[in-house]
């Protein structure tokens, strides 16, 4: 799995790793997930909102989104635009098979102290050595941009490695699974039921992996869209079996938001003590 090694603004990061009970969720919504032929486009909405698939908070940046073609090569976005509450972009689906569209992020965040003063890794703040409490405009939180910038005399270093992915899958003609090839790193999906072959009267089965091994006991939330028009969220709180497989029943046809998250003590960054992983996808469930 390829990650863009970038620091994420705190609000965006919180949305990407939002727990099922959080108010704001980050999502991608395709105009369709299945196409006949290779001469069409899919239009995607991207936002963070209270109610799923109804933009009411702030937009995702199209610059964060990557397109993977069915052969694994990188595709491109067309016509990106960002409004007050959502972003939109198009992807030309010109090759048969399953395309993956979404965001992948990896970052290390946390805090440390220098001479008794607290600093942050990531986020906004004054860089090392930039003024003091009497600096113009007050004293914003001190921050550095990378682990390498943490000074040698830092104490109370508390770092967490954060990995997140948020995807949609679009298939032209017959579905393929190249875009699901596992890398053996982090939280990944190895679908038994292809995400573009979901039907409301059939159980969906998805295998989750952590570092290439079945993710047993993984907590997964499945939420149907259009919460704005329901009194309750109707979320399903599910758990994978010993084989890492999740079994999902779909109450109705429509768009669903799936989120799995896990925490362990196996970060790749040596100075971090914790790893937080999140996998999110929007899938379309068709009527029989």
What pLDDT digit, counting tens, does each position of 153-189 carry? 999 999 999 999 999 999 999 999 999 999 999 999 9
**Same-domain status, 139 and 85:** no
**Residues 68 and 142 both lie in one domain:** no
pLDDT at 130 over 70: no
Co-location of 126 and 183 in the same domain: no
Are 178 and 55 contained in the same domain?
yes
pLDDT at 124 over 60: no
| Whether residues 21 and 90 fall in one domain | yes
| Joined tokens for residue 222 | 């499945």
Here the tokens at position 159 are 């770092």
In this structure, the answer to whether residues 174 and 275 fall within a common structural domain is: yes
Give the residue from 137, 155, 173 where a domain finishes.
155
Indicate whether 42 and 123 sit together in one domain. no
Q: Strands 213-214, 155-172: parallel, antiparallel or unpaired by DSSP?
A: unpaired
At residue 231, the pLDDT reads: 81
138 and 259 fall within a common domain: no
Task: Mark whether 41 and 122 lie in a shared domain.
Answer: no
pLDDT for res 3: 36
Residues 52 and 88 occupy one common structural domain: yes
Domain stops at, among 155, 189, 212: 155
pTM to 2 decimals? 0.85
Q: What letter does residue 62 receive in the DSSP assignment?
A: G
Contact 103, 165 (CB under 8 A): yes
- Which of 98, 120, 155 corresponds to the end of one domain? 155
Domain that holds residue 277: 4-106+161-286
Other C-beta atoms lying within 10 Å of the C-beta of residue 150: 19
Least confident of 62-76, 106-120, 139-153: 139-153
Long-range contacts for 189-194 (Cβ within 8 Å, ≥24 apart)? 189/279, 189/281, 190/244, 192/245, 194/98
Do 143 and 193 reside in the same domain of the chain?
no
pLDDT score recorded for residue 5 = 34
49: domain CATH number is: 2.60.40.10
In this structure, are 185 and 243 located in the same domain?
Answer: yes
For the chain, the domain total comes to 2
């Amino acid at each position: 799995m390829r990650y863009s090694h970038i620091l994420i603004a705190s609000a965006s990061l919180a949305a990407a790793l939002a727990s099922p009970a959080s108010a704001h969720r980050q999502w991608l919504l395709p105009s369709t997930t299945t196409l006949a032929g290779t001469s069409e486009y899919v239009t995607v909405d991207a936002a963070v909102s209270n109610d799923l698939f109804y933009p009411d908070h702030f937009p995702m940046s199209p610059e964060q989104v990557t397109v993977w073609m069915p052969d694994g090569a990188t595709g491109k976005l067309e016509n990106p635009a960002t409004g007050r509450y959502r972003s939109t972009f198009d992807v030309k689906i010109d090759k048969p098979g399953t395309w993956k569209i979404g965001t992948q992020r990896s970052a290390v965040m946390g805090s440390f102290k220098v001479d008794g003063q607290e600093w942050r890794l990531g986020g906004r703040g004054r860089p090392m050595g930039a003024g003091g409490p009497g600096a113009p405009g007050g004293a914003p939180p001190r921050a550095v941009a990378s682990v390498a910038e943490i000074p040698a005399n830092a104490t109370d270093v508390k770092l967490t490695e954060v990995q997140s992915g948020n995807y949609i899958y679009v298939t032209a003609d017959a579905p393929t699974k190249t875009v699901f090839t596992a890398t053996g790193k982090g939280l990944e999906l190895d679908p038994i039921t292809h995400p573009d072959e979901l039907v409301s009267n059939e159980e969906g089965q998805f295998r989750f992996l952590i570092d290439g091994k079945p993710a047993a006991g993984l907590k997964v939330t499945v939420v149907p869209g259009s919460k704005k028009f329901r009194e309750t969220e109707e979320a399903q709180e599910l758990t994978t079996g010993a084989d890492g497989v999740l079994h999902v029943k779909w109450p109705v046809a429509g768009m669903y938001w799936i989120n799995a998250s896990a925490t362990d003590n196996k970060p790749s960054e040596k100075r971090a003590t914790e790893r937080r992983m999140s996998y999110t996808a929007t899938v379309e469930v068709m009527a029989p």
